[in-house]
Structure 1
């Protein structure tokens, strides 16, 4: 079945730090306030921005990343995420044409905002940080408009404008290249979200503060943007789209009976995860139950545990204080029941993190450090586990400032060749698969089915 795509706009920028997240969040909030049902998306592997989108839209924010799921799934995932919505807003990543660097100098960045905009056929609005710009903005915009004919740059939002005179000069520059101005947001230091070592503080950690911040951003952006004009632009390009992605279809060959309980860590310490993950778990036959490691015990009859990414280093003392859950998880691991842990989950399973006692299910110690590890990895599984068989390949993403020191011999989870040579990551032990590598479950749905099957078998 081929359907018409939901009208959409892509919010991009010439470079990082231009204000994409502020403008996107405010636009989503303004559209929602105007009565639209908005489907929000983020290009790339980012977990944090979709949390703010979700607050503004009242529905999950989702990711579109060809590197992690493949080009062929972008259209279906977009269509699936748009179910029930009348408009979609897609926030880009970095600069418009910035993506994964390949060995082919003639290839544009894979997984860039431009790449995704072309795949879904949506027009692009550029958010320009106006600070320091004057008439020369016309030359910058001319370059972005003409660089790739497959990308439809359709207008501009001028952000952090200093004065009426500044706005006039910038509008003249936009007129010179024939780009309409969809909005002007004046410089305002109050329009910011607290950040730390890996970017913005996740919305789930700020709870009421995040709601208030999104409301303030929405009000300011709504006052500065021509929201009706954005809607008209979105409706001007609605190409044919593939049938929506289906978690049930992806797991049809792996579904189990018996509804094994899969406990998924959530709460302030574990905020990183993709919306499709619990959907795939449920479609594979699991009963998905959320728990907060800061306060809860392991849910009754838990057969498998998923502990995703987040900021355990910010909550290490409270995680250590929940001794009951740490015992529950240690017993769960000792029994051979499956655990899927990524990044923060790996740290939580170690014996200690920055001197605070953790679960002690993995012979390792974690520590926060000064060095950022960031990038896509083409990885191969180097041990059979509850998720993968030896030799299976994935593309994943690393994003952390911590390190883990393993004790003694271990069976690593992954290996890959990087800029600094060959590397191994994580550990496979009993039913545990734990590593720094984030893998989008929609890119490896068979692994989700394998995990649920393992949980069913050890119930």
Structure 2
């Protein structure tokens, strides 16, 4: 069971990506961070793009959902997050000087800007260990985001080295925390055929661990 964040705040999913996950064996579960009160029982999460900044107050107000998702991530839930998903998993989204608390799974704060901070094609190479893709894998996709990370003295761990694109800055992208990989990169499954099977394998591995531990 692979959860997909999908409501008016999270709308950007290539249909081919969802079809590829199903073809790889996933049962997709639609999840709404706006309407659902608790994060459901799934084995992995695909947190795609959208416009969380347009619904930031509502997302922040749904504290029970945010906290239940944070707990599952702390327990080892595999998560692939793209752009809007990265923003939602951060500590907070800053809009017009006001910080709105988010899930807090990533050790970063995201600021929305008036102008695009990254726009165009992206090429990246996997340079760090992660739950999904082997070292040396080349990823190609695109980015289009108005947000950027607040500058902090201690940079988060990243697993992607960019040869093209902006990412989170300094030629890097792909924040890695526990079993989470979060980036500004949007992949297309037809151009990255190993992605969907990798996410489903991670979900299957998590399901096996949960069964061994007695979770249902």
Q: CA deviation at 1:425?
A: 1.3
* From 406, 410, 417, the counterpart of 2:156: 410
Matched, 1:391 2:136: yes
Match status 1:377 vs 2:125: no
Deviation at 1:418, TM superposition (A): 4.1
CA contact (8 A) 1:387 1:448 kept: no
1:313 alignment partner in structure 2: 53
**Secondary structure at 1:396 match in 2:** strand
Q: Structure 1 residue 290: deviation in Å?
A: 0.5
1:427 matched to 2:167: no
Q: Which position in structure 2 is the counterpart of 1:343?
A: 83
Does the aligned pair in 1 maintain the 2:124–2:164 contact within 8 Å?
no
Decide whether aligned partners of structure 1 residues 361 and 422 sit closer, same or farther in structure 2, where only a CA change above 3 A counts.
closer
> CA, structure 1 residues 450+297, in 2 after alignment: closer, same or farther (shift >3 Å)?
farther
Deviations 1:279-321 (A, max 9, x none): 1111212110111111114553211111111111110000001
Q: Which residue of 2 aligns with 1:283?
A: 23
How far apart, CA to CA, are the structure 1 residues paired with 2:8 and 2:130? 28
CA deviations over 1:88-122 (Å, ceiling 9, x no partner): xxxxxxxxxxxxxxxxxxxxxxxxxxxxxxxxxxx
Contact 1:308/1:345 (8 A) holds in 2? yes
Deviations 1:20-46 (A, max 9, x none): xxxxxxxxxxxxxxxxxxxxxxxxxxx
2:77 corresponds to 1:332: no
Residue 204 of structure 2 corresponds to residue 456 of structure 1? yes
Tell me the secondary structure at the aligned position of residue 363 of structure 1: coil
Q: Deviations 1:117-175 (Å, cap 9, x if unpaired)?
A: xxxxxxxxxxxxxxxxxxxxxxxxxxxxxxxxxxxxxxxxxxxxxxxxxxxxxxxxxxx
Judge conservation of contact 1:413–1:434 (CA < 8 Å) in 2: no
8 Å Cα contact 1:348/1:359 also seen in 2: yes
The change in CA–CA distance for 1:299 and 1:347 in structure 2 (over 3 A counts) is: closer
In our comparison, the structure showing a higher alpha carbon Rg is: 1
Does the aligned pair in 2 maintain the 1:276–1:441 contact within 8 Å? Answer: yes
Residue in 2 that maps onto 1:356: 100
8 Å Cα contact 2:2-2:28 kept in structure 1: yes
Secondary structure at 2:182 match in 1: strand
Q: Is the 8 A contact 2:121 2:164 kept in 1?
A: no
Return the match for 1:366 from 82, 105, 110. 110
Mapped to 2, the partners of 1:359 and 1:278 lie a distance apart of 24
TM-score (norm 2): 0.86
Change in CA separation of 1:379 and 1:280 when aligned onto 2, cut-off 3 Å: same
Residue 181 of structure 2 is aligned to residue 441 of structure 1: no
TM-score, length basis structure 1: 0.42
Gaps of at least 5 residues in structure 1 are: 1-260
Distance 1:352 1:422, change over 3 A: closer
Is contact 2:105-2:177 (8 Å) kept?
A: no
> In the alignment, is the contact (CA less than 8 A) between 1:380 and 1:414 conserved in 2?
yes
Check conservation: 2:140, 2:192, Cα contact below 8 A.
Answer: no
Do the aligned partners of 1:395 and 1:439 also contact (CA within 8 Å) in 2? yes
Alpha-carbon shift at residue 409 of structure 1 (Å) = 4.1
Match of 1:371, SS?
coil
User: What's the Cα RMSD here?
Assistant: 1.9
SS in 2 for 1:413: strand
Unaligned runs of 5+ in 2: 208-216
